[in-house]
Structures are given as structure tokens and as C-alpha cells.
């Protein structure tokens, strides 16, 4: 079976937009972008950065004080307007002076050396390349993790630490575990380190599975992890001692494959619990990493785990909860948050 194509920003033809005329003023360029024109950067990378900063200031979108819905609307306006500023790619390299090296241009577009991409997508590709190439140290793993482009990677660690606490006192079977929605594989690697004989790691995002495959190649002795592009638990019928899921935490419309890391739609948790009930050994455990962020953002939305427990198919063994620590290295004073992360341990009733 051929592997599903990796997600990547859609390449545009090199002639997708006219070059910005030399000497055109910044306000004129911004007006053209706002009026719906696509423009191709022709001067330097720094000029592109300047244009995006000026566009951001001109759009003056809702900030932290605004509601979730207002911020989402603002983000949509930003995404649409900023994506009209294109940058030429020549021979798999950014084709303007002063641009950084982005190895993903060769990896993700092997068939097309010359094309154009929105500058905002290139900035994302560049950031992702740095994370992938340099790796990010993760104390819960005692090693660096190298998330591939387009893969959810943890930026905070409170929930991983809480899961580590739970895992250290786990006394059940360790033959077979499933890490549902593995992302860059952090939980699967924690499970393998904890001595599970086999860890099936699924994700619908092909880049996540590519990320984990590449990560496993970095180990001197390959951990017993089987990555697979699959919906939820996949179709392998083997019963599991432990099913772990760090699902999306916020209810919302999924508009792109990457939204699936953060947003869930109606029926998502019901499908997960239906599958988990059929794949768990009688003494097995389902563990969900969750948060009260849903309650904070959408107070009228029912908690999907409590809704499942009310059905009587699973019982709650324990729930751990801890305040969220702000991300390390964040500039400015710490922002106060009521956010808590949670580990829910469930067994068949």
C-alpha cells in the first residue's frame, strides 16, 4: 500500500502573481494586498518581513482581551490577507536575498524545484525546519524530539508531566498499548520507555506518522513502536492493556487536517469511546489527557468524558489534575491562568 501524501503548503506556479515593482511604497503595497491582489516579493527577505509586520499593524486585529470567536475571525482575516504576499522558490531555495535555508523545500517538493509560496507559509516552514533540525529538549523523555513539518508538538509540558506521574504508578499489564493521535510520538515513546512490549501509535495526519518514523530511526535501539496512519484506534483487532489519548481539547469546526490536533467536532469522542470499549482487555485502562480549557472557553459545552461516564459503559478509576505552568522562556511577566490539565483513568464498568 502506498503511503498517503505528506501535507505541505500548496505550491503555486511561479507566474501566480506579478513581482512588486522596485520602489513601490509600503502603503501602496499593503493597499494592493488588502484589495485582494497577489504580489510576488522581488527585493529581499527582510522587505517581506517588513511588509508582514506593517500589514499586521494596519489590520489591527483583536488581541488577548477579545472573545474566542472575535480572535478566530481576526485570525481568518489575517490568514487570507497575508497569504497574498508570495515568495519565489528557485531550485528548492527561497529566491530572494537574505532568506534562511529551509530544508523542507527539497523534502516536501521533490518534483518541483521552481514555484511560489505565501511568505507566511515559508515562515512556518522555516520555524518547523529549525525545530526539526535542532530538536527540542523534552525532560519527560530525557532527550530531544524532532517534530516534522505539519505535526503537533507540545509547547507546554504540564500535561506530559502529569501523565508521567500517572504512568509511574501504573500497575497493570504492559503487553500492548495504543497511543491514539500520537503527534510527534511523545506519549508512545514514554510508554515504550515504561516497558510496554508493543505500542501501536496512530494518527490521521500522515506528517505525524512520518515524524514518529523518523524519530524512531534516531534511537540506537529501536523502541517497539508501530506507527500507522489510521483513524482513532485503527483496524488492528488486538486487545490492549492501555489505550492513551491526548485528544483535541476544544470544540470547533475542523477546516484543515492540522486543525484536528486542537479542535473536535460532534461525535468525535463518542466514536473514540465506541472503539476503545471494543479494544480493551477486561482489566485494561483508557487514559485521556484533557484540560478544563473547554469549560473556560465554552462554558455551555458538556465535558465529553463526563458525558461518556454518564452512559455507564466505563467507570472513573481516578482523575489527576494540576495547574498549568506557563511555557519556559516566555518573555514578560507570567500570565495568570485558571487552566488546569487533567489525566482521566477509566476502566470498563
CB of 34 to ligand SAM, least distance (A): 33
Residue 120: CB minimum distance to ligand SAM, A: 21
- Minimal distance in Å, beta carbon 57 to ligand SAM? 32
Among 125, 199, 232, 242, binds ligand SAM (CB under 6 A): 232
How many chain residues are in contact with ligand SAM, going by CB under 6 A? 20
* CB 136, CB 147: distance < 8 Å: yes
Q: Exposure of 330 by Cβ count < 10 A (0-12 exposed, 13-18 middle, 19+ buried)?
A: exposed
Shortest distance, CB of residue 258 to ligand SAM, whole angstroms? 8
Specify whether the CB–CB gap between 317 and 282 falls below 8 A.
no
Comparing CB distances to ligand SAM, the nearer of 83 and 136 is: 136
Q: Which residues contact 152 (CB under 8 A, 6 or more apart)?
A: 183, 184, 205, 208, 258, 261, 262
* Sequence-distant (≥ 6) Cβ neighbours of residue 328 within 8 angstroms: none
Among 176, 203, 210, 339, binds ligand SAM (CB under 6 A): 203
Number of Cβ atoms within 10 Å of the Cβ of 329: 5
By CB under 6 A, name the one of 136, 204, 228, 292 that touches ligand SAM: 204
SS3 of 62-81: CCCCCCHHHHHHHHHHHHHH
User: Which residues 125-154 are close enough to bind ligand SAM by CB under 6 A?
Assistant: 152, 154
9 lines the binding site for ligand SAM (CB under 6 A):
no
Quick check: 176 binds ligand SAM (CB under 6 A)?
no
Residue from 211, 260, 275, 291 binding ligand SAM (CB under 6 A): 260
CA–CA separation, 135 and 146 (whole Å): 4
Q: Which of 81, 82, 158, 202 contacts ligand SAM by CB under 6 A?
A: 202
261 lines the binding site for ligand SAM (CB under 6 A): yes
Residue nearest to ligand SAM (CB): 181
176-180 and 240-245 strand pairing? parallel
Q: Which residues of 217-232 are buried (b: 16+ CB within 10 A; e: fewer)?
A: eeeeeebbbebebbeb
**Which of 81, 82, 158, 205 touches ligand SAM (CB under 6 A)?**
205
- Nearest distance in Å: CB 179, ligand SAM: 6
Q: According to the binding rule CB under 6 A, does residue 284 interact with ligand SAM?
A: no
Q: How many CA atoms lie within 13 A of 10 on its CB side?
A: 5
Q: Which of 169, 174, 203, 172 is nearest to 186 (CA)?
A: 203
Check residue 86 for interaction with ligand SAM (CB under 6 A).
Answer: no
Crossing angle of the two packed helices 68-82 and 119-134, in degrees rounded to 10: 100
Decide: is 181 part of the binding site for ligand SAM (CB under 6 A). Answer: yes
Shortest distance in whole angstroms from residue 90 CB to ligand SAM: 33
Complex with ligand SAM: residue 43 or 259, whichever CB lies closer: 259
Q: Does residue 227 belong to the site contacting ligand SAM (CB under 6 A)? A: no
Look at residue 12 and give its three-state secondary structure: strand
- Indicate whether 275 belongs to the interface with ligand SAM (CB under 6 A): no
Residues 347, 349: Cα–Cα separation, whole Å: 6
How does DSSP classify residue 238? -
Interface with ligand SAM by CB under 6 A: which residues?
A: 152, 154, 180-183, 186-187, 202-205, 208, 231-232, 246-248, 260-261
Amino acid at each position: 500500500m502506498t503511503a498517503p501524501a505528506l501535507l505541505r503548503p500548496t505550491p503555486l506556479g511561479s507566474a501566480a502573481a506579478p513581482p512588486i515593482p522596485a520602489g513601490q511604497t509600503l502603503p501602496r503595497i499593503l493597499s494592493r494586498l488588502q484589495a485582494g491582489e497577489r504580489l510576488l516579493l522581488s527585493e529581499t527577505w527582510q522587505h517581506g518581513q517588513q511588509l508582514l509586520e506593517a500589514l499586521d499593524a494596519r489590520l489591527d486585529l483583536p488581541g488577548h482581551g477579545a472573545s474566542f470567536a472575535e480572535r478566530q475571525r481576526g485570525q481568518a482575516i489575517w490568514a487570507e490577507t497575508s497569504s497574498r504576499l508570495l515568495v519565489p522558490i528557485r531550485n528548492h531555495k527561497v529566491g530572494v536575498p537574505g532568506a534562511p535555508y529551509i530544508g523542507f523545500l527539497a523534502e516536501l517538493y521533490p518534483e518541483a524545484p521552481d514555484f511560489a509560496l505565501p511568505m507566511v507559509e515559508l515562515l512556518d516552514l522555516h520555524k518547523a525546519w529549525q525545530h526539526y533540525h535542532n530538536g527540542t529538549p523534552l525532560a519527560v523523555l530525557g532527550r530531544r524530539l524532532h517534530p516534522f513539518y505539519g505535526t503537533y508538538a507540545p509547547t507546554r509540558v504540564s500535561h506530559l508531566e502529569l501523565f508521567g506521574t500517572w504512568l509511574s504508578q501504573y500497575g497493570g499489564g504492559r503487553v500492548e498499548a495504543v497511543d491514539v493521535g500520537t503527534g510527534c510520538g511523545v506519549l508512545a515513546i514514554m510508554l515504550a520507555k515504561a516497558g510496554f512490549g508493543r505500542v501501536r501509535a496512530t494518527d490521521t495526519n500522515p506528517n505525524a506518522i512520518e515524524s514518529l518514523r523518523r524519530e524512531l530511526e534516531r534511537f540506537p535501539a529501536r523502541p517497539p513502536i508501530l506507527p500507522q496512519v489510521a483513524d482513532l484506534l485503527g483496524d488492528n483487532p488486538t486487545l490492549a492493556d492501555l489505550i492513551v489519548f491526548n485528544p483535541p481539547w476544544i470544540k470547533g469546526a475542523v477546516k484543515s487536517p492540522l486543525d484536528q490536533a486542537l479542535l473536535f467536532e460532534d461525535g468525535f469522542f463518542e466514536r473514540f469511546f465506541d472503539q476503545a470499549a471494543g479494544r480493551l482487555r477486561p482489566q485494561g485502562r483508557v487514559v485521556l489527557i484533557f484540560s478544563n480549557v473547554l469549560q473556560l472557553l465554552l462554558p455551555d459545552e458538556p465535558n465529553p468524558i463526563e458525558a461518556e461516564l454518564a452512559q455507564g459503559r466505563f467507570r472513573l478509576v481516578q482523575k489527576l489534575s494540576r495547574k498549568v505552568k506557563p511555557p519556559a522562556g516566555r518573555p514578560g511577566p507570567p500570565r495568570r491562568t485558571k487552566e488546569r490539565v487533567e489525566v482521566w483513568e477509566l476502566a470498563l464498568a
